[in-house]
Amino acid sequence: MSASPAGARDEGVRRAVVPVFRSLGRRPWLLPAALSGVLRLARPGWWRRWPPLPLPDPELWRFRMQTAYGGTGDAVPDEDDVVSFVEWSRAMRHWRRN
């Protein structure tokens, strides 16, 4: 782990916000499942940090992007990947309930 400032570590998460919102804005029926996923990935105690946004821990985000796309973990998810993941997550939630 590098000793970089928090702003630099959060940069990967911040770059992904626009593509994620863009992809979900076109599919409002996925918003409840997306919100559930956001809250699952959010840093513990996210409401105590300014700004109070439920963003994932930068190291978790880097790990997720590295395992999904390879490289150094600075990738931004594709819109199709975001939609596929949220649809899968939604289907799994319904499957677990039945």
Rounded to a whole number of angstroms, the distance between the first and last alpha carbons of the chain is 41
Place of tokens 């395992």: 67
* Gap between the Cα atoms of 43 and 16, Å rounded: 16
Q: What confidence category does residue 2 fall into, taking pLDDT thresholds of 50, 70 and 90? A: very low
Residues in the chain: 98
* Gap between the Cα atoms of 41 and 1, Å rounded: 20
| pLDDT tens figures, 41-97 | 888 999 998 888 888 888 888 898 899 898 888 888 888 888 998 899 889 877 766
* Gap between the Cα atoms of 88 and 42, Å rounded: 19
DSSP state of 95: H
Say yes or no to pLDDT of 98 above 70. no
